[in-house]
Structure 1
Amino acid sequence: MIKFGIIGTNWITKQFIEAAQSIGWRLTSVYSRKIATAQQFAGQFGTTVNTYTDLPAFFDQGDFSVVYIASPNSLHFSQSQQALQAGKNVIVEKPSCSNPTEMKAIVKLLRQNPSLYYFEAARHFHEPLFKKVAQQIRKFAIIQGANLTYMKYSSRYDEFLAGAEPNVFSLDFSGGALQDLGVYLVYNAISWFGYPHQAIYYPQKLRNGIDGSGTAILTYPEFKVVLNLGKTANSYLPSEVYGLKETLLLDNPAELNKLTLMDELHQSQQIAAALPENPMLAEVRDFNEILLAPDKLSSKQQMEDWLAVSVQVNQLLAQLRHSAGITFPADEIAEV
């Protein structure tokens, strides 16, 4: 049985816990800055869950081998770093790091501690339909490009409009639409088409310089991929990948529920896959398979394959941000 601790007490943490418990994991430790918050959250999952407000104590005293980190983006790196230094395996929400400097430091730590595992929790990357998209794209004789759209009105945008600055709309916390929603689309582009030759981001910036929405253009040798993303409006457009005479339609590139292949005769074919009730279950199952067999060469190789994608995603996010003149305080740290 895998024992795990969590950092962060929001809805996504609850969803992860439910997915993990459904396959037999046991929650033992909860960290939050406020003890009342930690206790209230832990109380939903049993009386044997220990709570902490001191992070070193959480890692030193907590009875767990894996930590799930779902704190504000800017804290992901330092908390992951402390976890690895404490000998804990890490599952960290995307984006796992604010910039390539932080990512390089994580990779260095992993090389120094080869028995540890580190996963970026890009849930859609592990879903069956995500893999079906990749399979279908490989069948295209020619790829002519793609338009991927993920725009979802943020529940925190009203607060921002009222004058507050929620973490997700804060440069200090490495927020913004590209980091929060664009990361899904960047995962898609890297996984399905590889790393682009050129990448430019055209954001609509809010009053504090953060991007509320934007369009990224990724240029490949033979085609372009356009990413439309935003947290200040909703889009209901499907996304599309263009072959020669075929077009693949995705209902939502970040929350894949339905794929449709349109052929040259304009006839449609539905591409189906079993969808888990909990959207985080697929990734938890993948992580579980590796963590239950940590000494297998295939387990280590799988982590390395996923890590390579995470590194490229991190690099491309930074490249896009910098093309638009968006910098975070985290970027000012030369070495970590």
Structure 2
Amino acid sequence: MIHLGIIGTNWISHQFVNAALETKRYDLTAVYSRKLETAQKFGEEYGDVEYATDLKTFFGIAHMDTVYIASPNSLHFEQAKQGILAGKNIIVEKPAFSTPAEMEEIIELANQQKVFFFEAARNIHEKSFKKIGDLLPLKNKIMGANFTYMKYSSRYDQVLDGQEPNIFSPHFSGGAMADLGVYLVYAAVGWFGMPNESHYFARKIPTDVDGIGTAILRYDLFDVTLQTGKNADSFLDSEIYFDGGTLILDSVNAISKAEFHDRNHQERDIIELTTEENPMIEEAHDFADVLENPNDSIMGARYEEWVELARNVNKVLTTLRKSAGIVFDADKE
């Protein structure tokens, strides 16, 4: 059994805990919050849980072996570092870290301490994502792709009122690309590899991060266009263009529907996909496979692939952000 601790008492933490418990491979051991009542409110539905209001006490809970971190983005690095030094495996909600330097330090430290670091990019762990990847042709048969994930955030109302919520703050490494665009970058890099060039044309909002934007990833033979935003809604499908037709996806962040339009035969083939009610169950299983089999060579190879993908996605996100003139506090540290 994996003994899980939680940092971050928002809805996504509840979703991960429920997914983890559903696998029957985890139990919820501890919850951290700066306010005891907040931690207790989060944990009350999960039975016998320990609570901590300072990180030293939290990471000192001996029987807790793995920590899921879903605090504001800019806090991930120091909390992950402290957890690793305490001998804990860490699962860090995407985007895990603000800069490549932070990413490299955590990867190296985790290796030194012989613990695991996972970035919780759930879409790459879904069976539907893996199935689409298996169906893709050789790169010389791909003509391009267009991925979209754009969803209005209620916290943008606060921006309009002159406030600076964490998700829209450069102090907390926020913005549309960091929050939603990361799924698109994971899809592109996961399926096609690292691009040769990355450019982001963003519209900044008053807090000086991106509210909406379009990115272009240039590969040897094709381009991938990414459209993301948190101050508007999009209802567009995502598409991958082949030399003989088009693969149409309802999304790339959580694929539930896919069909291939064959240009030559003017036919549409429905692709059968399997989805889970809780979209975090598959990543919880994947993480458990590694955590429960730390010396298995196959699991080890999968883990290294995820780490390398996380490293590359972080590099692309940073290149995109800097090309749009978006500066985080973490860049200055």
Q: Which range, TM-score by smaller chain?
A: over 0.9
**Which one-letter code corresponds to 1:227 in the other structure?**
L
What corresponds to 2:19 in structure 1?
19
| C-alpha deviation, 1:138, in angstroms | 2.6
TM-score (norm 2): 0.97
Residue 310 in 1 paired to residue 302 in 2?
A: no
CA offset at residue 94 of structure 1?
Answer: 0.5
CA RMSD in angstroms comes to 1.2
> Structure 2 CA distance, aligned partners of 1:57 and 1:298?
35
Superposed CA deviations along residues 61-107 of structure 1, whole A, max 9, x for unmatched, are 25311100011110111111111110000111011110001011112
Map 1:181-200; keep pairs closer than 5 Å: 181-200=180-199
Secondary structure, aligned partner of 2:115: coil
SS at match of 1:172: helix
C-alpha distance 309-183 of structure 1, shift in aligned 2 (>3 A): same
- The alignment partner of 1:254 has SS state of coil
Give, as a single letter, the amino acid of the residue that structure 2 aligns with 1:269: D
Q: How far did residue 313 of structure 1 move?
A: 0.2
Query: 1:212-250 deviations in whole A, cap 9, x for unaligned?
Result: 010001111111110000001110010110001210001
Partner of 2:215: 216
Structure-2 residue corresponding to 1:109: 109
CA contact (8 A) 1:204 1:214 kept: yes
- Cα distance in 2 for partners of 1:97, 1:191 equals 18
Within 5 Å, give how 1:111-190 maps onto structure 2. Answer: 111-113=111-113, 115-138=114-137, 142-190=141-189
Question: What's the CA shift for 1:300?
Answer: 2.1
For 1:201, the aligned partner's letter is Y
Deviation at 1:111, TM superposition (A): 2.7
For 1:54 and 1:141, the matched residues in 2 are separated by 53
- TM-score computed with the length of structure 1 as normaliser: 0.96
- Please name the residue that 2:46 is paired with: 45
In the TM superposition, what is the alpha-carbon distance from 1:41 to its structure 2 partner?
Answer: 0.8
Give secondary structure in 1 for the equivalent of 2:212. strand
Q: Distance in 2 between matches of 1:305 and 1:279?
A: 21
User: Contact 2:3–2:29 (CA<8 Å) still a contact in 1?
Assistant: yes
Q: Name the counterpart of 1:65.
A: 65
Report if the CA contact (8 A) 2:180-2:229 is conserved.
yes
Q: Give unmatched runs, 5+ long, in structure 1.
A: none
User: Secondary structure at 1:273's aligned position in 2?
Assistant: coil
Q: CA deviation at 1:189?
A: 0.7
Deviations 1:11-69 (A, max 9, x none): 100010001111221101000111110111111211x1011110011001253111000
Task: Check if 1:267 corresponds to 2:267.
Answer: yes
Q: Distance in 2 between matches of 1:138 and 1:121?
A: 27
Cα pair 1:126 1:282 within 8 Å, conserved? yes
Deviations 1:102-142 (A, max 9, x none): 011112202312x3111100111101111122122236761
CA distance in 2, matches of 1:110, 1:317: 22
Contact 1:146 1:241 in 2 (8 A): yes
